Structure 1
Amino acid sequence: MSSAVSRVPAAPSEEALRHFEALLQFETDCWDVHHAITNNRQDFVLLDVRSIECFTKGHVDGAESLPHARLNEGTLAKYPVDTLFVVYCAGPHCNATEKAAIRLAKLGRPVKKMIGGVTGWIDEGFSLVAGAPTEDTSK
């Protein structure tokens, strides 16, 4: 008797290794982002790609607000072309990170998704800060 879990056999180990290593090229998690920020090892720009209103209500300390619909060459001009962007949104129920990642990739910019978004951040016990963006992101 098999379960729904084992009914489809697991991939061979070599394929699983390639798959899971590849995932880390596309995503990071809240713990790794938090560790980088709190240990002064932040070698990326953390972008909150939700609306400015959502950002103002609560965001990851150190994140910049840049709603995904406003990502373009002009709004990214201040960043060197090799800047790694880590994007996040509300959480697993939100696809703004995918929309942002697509825009960034089309612009030739390195990008990773912070899985879990705000929901994951809070679930891990990390806090948010409130406040408006420090600069205009409307361009």
Structure 2
Amino acid sequence: MSDIDTSPAMRVPPAAPAEAAAFFTARLTFQADVSDVRASLDSGAPGFVLVDSRGTAGWQQGHVPGAVHLPVADIPDRAASLLAPRVPVITYCWGPGCDGATRAALALARLGYQVKEMIGGIEYWIREGFPVEGATGTERRAADPLTAPIGSPTCAC
């Protein structure tokens, strides 16, 4: 019996390299991480509009500076007035345990927008120590040392 036969992680063997490349390319086509979104926004020419798909209470509690507030339920009626049809959109919601960004991305795709979702949502934005804008202004918390590199703006991955 080989190590692969006894490894819980390898009970289902990895895909063939070409299949794996297609899968991982697809993931990157549909998702962007918070670090890449932040770096893009900081560049001044991100090439997309960032959409916060949470309700009003979440938005007021704190959101990514520069994001557009467009709750999922409002997308059919308000997207055209807030978003240019040819500018890609990246959606976010609360975090990895919430499908709000996915629902928003689906609704926008059905309206003809090019769209990705920001994996990690506002939770990981905050955990990486990035600024959050709220009712009292902009605040920034220390990065969580278990989820983000200390003293570096990106994970360098």
> Do the structures match in fold with TM over 0.5?
yes
4+ aligned runs moved over 6 Å, structure 1 = none
Letter in 1 for 2:89: F
Give 1:80 shift.
Answer: 2.5
Partner residue, 2:149: none
**Partner residue of 2:134 out of 119, 130, 133:** 130
**Partner residue of 1:28 out of 20, 28, 32:** 32
**Partner residue of 2:109 out of 105, 108, 125:** 105
Conserved? CA contact 1:55–1:131, under 8 Å: no
Farther off after superposition, 77-86 or 52-61 = 77-86
Partner residue, 1:137: none
Conserved? CA contact 1:73–1:107, under 8 Å: no
Q: Give the unaligned 5+ runs of structure 1.
A: 133-139
Correspondence 1:1-139 to 2 at 5 A: 2-72=6-76, 74-131=78-135
Aligned Cα root-mean-square deviation (Å): 1.6
Give 1:78 shift.
Answer: 4.4
Q: Give the SS at the match of 1:28.
A: strand
Q: Distance in 2 between matches of 1:100 and 1:78?
A: 14
Higher relative contact order (CA 8 A, sep 6+): 1
Q: Give the SS at the match of 2:18.
A: helix
Letter in 1 for 2:120: G
Give 1:10 shift.
Answer: 0.5
How big is each residue's C-alpha offset from its partner over 1:15-66, in whole Å with a ceiling of 9 and x where there is no partner? 1111101111111010111001112122111000001111111011111111
Count residues in correspondence.
132
What TM-score do you get using the length of structure 2 for normalisation? 0.79
Aligned-residue sequence identity (percent) comes to 37
Q: Give the SS at the match of 1:5.
A: helix
How big is each residue's C-alpha offset from its partner over 1:95-138, in whole Å with a ceiling of 9 and x where there is no partner? 10111111111111111000000111122221211039xxxxxx
Larger Rg: 2
